[in-house]
Amino acid sequence: MSTDIKKIAKELYAAHKEAREVDRFTAASPAFSLAEAYEAQRLLLAHHLTGGDTLVGRKMGLTSRPKMQQMGVHNPIHGFLTASMHVADGGEVALRGRIHPKIEPEIAFVLKRELGGRPSVAEALAAVEGVCGALEVIDSRYRNFEFQLPDVVADNGSSSAFLLGAKLVRPQHLDLANLGITVEVNGRAQLFGSSAAILGHPGRSLAALVALLDEEGKTLPAGSVVLAGAATAAIPLTPGSRVRATFQGLGSLEARAGA
Ligand code: OOG
Ligand code: MG
């Protein structure tokens, strides 16, 4: 029996809308494949767009060892970012409407021109307008954040919201291969990391994303925002907490969790 991709996308969209967890699909359908999962993700995006949202970029996930170890899944994946997922720097991330949100520091790229094909890291970075620090809120729609690779791909890489730092810096003005990152919660340092954790260099994540999209016959349009993947494990977003991420050369940004 083949997997019902349409049903999976519909269930994940409903789980997102209603902030309710579902069981991972690979439990009931062990044959659910990665190719089917990306198809389900495309259908999930179509549900969001039909609901009035717009596509503003892409995210990479599981590009660092801390994340792979935390989640028990060991291959980079990608997902989409929509306009309604964006929260302003310093803004509130509502906990109502989310299931079990976590937050993680990311490096983001903003493209000045379209990127397609299979670029080298240098070619990919040449299309970048600027780099900024970012935070991603992830909120797996799966019970206990438990999934296998096809499940998390279908669920848009657990993505829920993202915040971008105000300081946009040209990539050539940064030592992107080793930017220090600190995350403080309510003023206390909780996580330390380096951009080196992201495939050795976040530019590799960008180039890998473009190559993965090329396999689907897609490109990254000018203006796209790309999250390269978290450099550290994610931490639970607790009610009323303030999470501040500081990036060497890129300043800091802050998210406030709602009640
Ligand atoms: C999967 C999403 C991973 C990242 O930055 O590695 C991700 C998860 O942890 O639920 O966004
Ligand atoms: Mg992430």
pLDDT tens sequence across 134-162: 999 999 999 999 999 999 999 999 999 99
* Candidate of 85, 100, 104, 198 to mutate for ligand 1, largest count of ligand atoms within 8 Å of Cβ: 104
Q: Does residue 81 carry a pLDDT above 70?
A: yes
Q: Are residues 251 and 165 in contact, defined by beta-carbon separation less than 8 angstroms?
A: yes
Residues with CB under 5 A from ligand 2 (ion): 136, 230
- Tell me, using a 6 A CB cutoff, whether residue 76 lines ligand 1: no
pLDDT band at 32 (very low <50, low <70, confident <90, very high): very high
Q: Are residues 162 and 135 in contact, defined by beta-carbon separation less than 8 angstroms?
A: yes
Q: Measure CA 112 to chain center.
A: 20
Instruction: Give the residue, by CA position, lying nearest to ligand 1 atom 10.
Output: 158
Beta strands in the chain (DSSP E): 55-61, 77-82, 92-93, 102-111, 128-138, 159-164, 180-185, 188-194, 225-230, 235-236, 242-247, 251-257
Mean pLDDT of the chain: 96
Q: Does residue 1 carry a pLDDT above 60?
A: no
Instruction: Give the residue, by CA position, lying nearest to ligand 1 atom 3.
Output: 61
Which ligand 1 atom minimizes the distance to the CA of 234? 9
pLDDT band at 210 (very low <50, low <70, confident <90, very high): very high
CA distances from 50 to 54, 219, 229 (A): 9, 21, 27
pLDDT band at 72 (very low <50, low <70, confident <90, very high): confident
| pLDDT at residue 3, as a whole number | 83
pLDDT band at 33 (very low <50, low <70, confident <90, very high): very high
pLDDT above 70 covers a percentage of the chain that reads 99
pLDDT band at 259 (very low <50, low <70, confident <90, very high): confident
Give the pLDDT mean for 167-188: 97
Shortest-distance ligand to the CA of residue 205 = 1
Give the pLDDT mean for 202-217: 96
pLDDT band at 214 (very low <50, low <70, confident <90, very high): very high
pLDDT band at 73 (very low <50, low <70, confident <90, very high): confident
| pLDDT at residue 75, as a whole number | 86
pLDDT above 90 covers a percentage of the chain that reads 94
Convert the pLDDT of each residue in 91-114 to its tens digit.
999 999 999 999 999 999 999 999
Which ligand 1 atom minimizes the distance to the CA of 227? 5
| pLDDT at residue 74, as a whole number | 83
| pLDDT at residue 173, as a whole number | 96
Q: Does residue 24 carry a pLDDT above 80?
A: yes
Q: Which two tokens stand for residue 161?
A: 């919201």
In 41-63, which positions are buried (b, 16+ CB within 10 angstroms) versus exposed (e)? Answer: bebbbebbeeeeeeebbbbbbbb
Which ligand 1 atom minimizes the distance to the CA of 67? 6
Indicate yes or no: pTM above 0.95.
Answer: yes
| pLDDT at residue 23, as a whole number | 97
- Tell me, using a 6 A CB cutoff, whether residue 138 lines ligand 1: yes
| pLDDT at residue 29, as a whole number | 95
Give the pLDDT mean for 25-48: 97
- Tell me, using a 6 A CB cutoff, whether residue 246 lines ligand 1: no
